[in-house]
Amino acid sequence: MLLFSIVIIPVLAAVFSVLLPARLRGTANLAAHGVLLVLAGLLAYRISGGSGIVAFGGVLRADALSAFFIFLISLVNLAALVYSRPYLQEDIDGGVLSVRQARGYDILFNVFAATMLLVPLLDNLGHMWVAVELTTLASAFLVGFYNTKASVEAAWKYVIICSVGITLAL
Amino acid sequence: MTLFLLTGIMILTYAMLVCHRIPALIQNFRLQSLFLFLVTLDFAVRQKEAGVFVVAGLLLLVKVILVPSFLNHLVKKIKVDERLGLFLNPLLSLIAALFLTWGAAVFCAWLVSDSPVVVFAAFVVSITVVMVGFFIMVFRMKAITQIVGLLVMENGIFLLASSIAGGMPFFVEIAIAFDVFICAIITGIFMYRINKVFTHIEVHRLTDLKG
């Protein structure tokens, strides 16, 4: 249940980002990622007591290394979320971004968080490969978010380099 | 039979290197995927496993029908110059590809020296296809050739996995097919954006971020 909720919370947050208005969205996202950090701490505590946790008939599995990575990812996620809120607000006030684009940012951020958290939890190397590729694809839109020359160029190079790397890893 | 199909893949791989125009490249990619599908089908018939048939069907759906149609549609939509923009002319590309094939053969002979000729040929062909995919990505100018090169590399890896390792687990194959499709769509979207922001899709002119 714990592993499942770690993956499903960012997915739910992405869904809520589609539905909720701007003000509630910020609070909901902060709450979701705060809960994630707490769950990551709980996972680390449970793991430290003994062996790994398995869920879904062995599809998901957590050991000490995945607990470490989950904790790290959720910590960075929370920090990025706290930082990006006023950052984006400034761009919205300055007219660089529309409110709709900011919503897109929240959705992509949560999808990216979900794929990132999925990677250390999967028990099959092939599934893990797919999840890693999904992180690349989800974050590509975040890299090209501002849609300027530099960001589109960066996103293109990022996507191509990462895809070639991951293809060779297969 | 398998040797015949492998030869087909090899010829189409070389044909990709000598073509000048984008539709021809996409068409060659489609044919190469079709031959890859036939190889997988042949494998499935001999193995008599339902899972392999499904994988072959997915290959037909994604790489032969959906992705090339999407790329063709995209090329028509952005109305870009049809020429590929070669850094290296077809003859030199072909010679380079022959050297890559020779290198692959030497490497495979060193790796799997005492195996049947079909396995050896499949190994050489798949490594060559991966190398040629790389080659297309590096020595052609347009962004779309990088997408096609990536897909060609993916084809090569698929061939390697299905002929040497006897295929990957069923769910992994399905996930990879899905993933390839998503990847093609997303790179397509970015190509569309590049065309909108820069008014061209020539990758060698994207130099703002050079260190």
Q: What per-residue confidence (pLDDT) applies to A66?
A: 85
- Of all residues in chain B, the one with the smallest CA distance to A164 is B150
Selection from A90, A97, A86 nearest residue A30 by Cα: A86
A130 contacts B187? CB cut-off 8 A = no
B190 contacts A159? CB cut-off 8 A = yes
% of chain B with per-residue pLDDT over 90:
9
Q: Report pTM.
A: 0.85
Query: Taking CB atoms and an 8 Å cutoff, what residues of chain A touch B197?
Result: 147-149, 152
Residue B140's DSSP bridge partners are B86
Contact B202, B85 (CB under 8 A): yes
% of chain B with per-residue pLDDT over 70:
99
DSSP A67-132: HHHHHHHHHHHHHHHHHHHHHHHHHHHTTSS-HHHHHHHHHHHHHHHHHHHHGGGB--HHHHHHHH
Q: How confident is the model at residue B175 (pLDDT cuts 50, 70, 90)?
A: confident
How far apart are the CA of B95 and the nearest CA of chain A, in angstroms?
24
A163 contacts B187? CB cut-off 8 A = yes
Q: Which stretches in chain A have pLDDT values below 70?
A: 50-51
Q: What is the pLDDT of residues B185-210, one digit of tens each?
A: 888 888 888 888 887 777 777 777 77
Q: How confident is the model at residue B41 (pLDDT cuts 50, 70, 90)?
A: confident
Residue A131 CA to residue A3 CA, distance in Å, equals 16
Residue A44 identity (one-letter amino acid):
A
B138 inside 8 A of chain A by CB: no
**Between residues 107 and 146 of chain A, which touch chain B (CB distance below 8 Å)?**
124, 126-127, 129-130, 133-134, 137, 140-141, 144
Q: What is the pLDDT of residues B66-103, one digit of tens each?
A: 999 998 888 888 877 777 777 788 888 899 999 999 99
A164 contacts B186? CB cut-off 8 A = no
Q: How confident is the model at residue B58 (pLDDT cuts 50, 70, 90)?
A: confident
Instruction: Map residue A63 onto helix, strand or coil.
Output: coil
B168 inside 8 A of chain A by CB: yes
Residue B81 identity (one-letter amino acid):
D
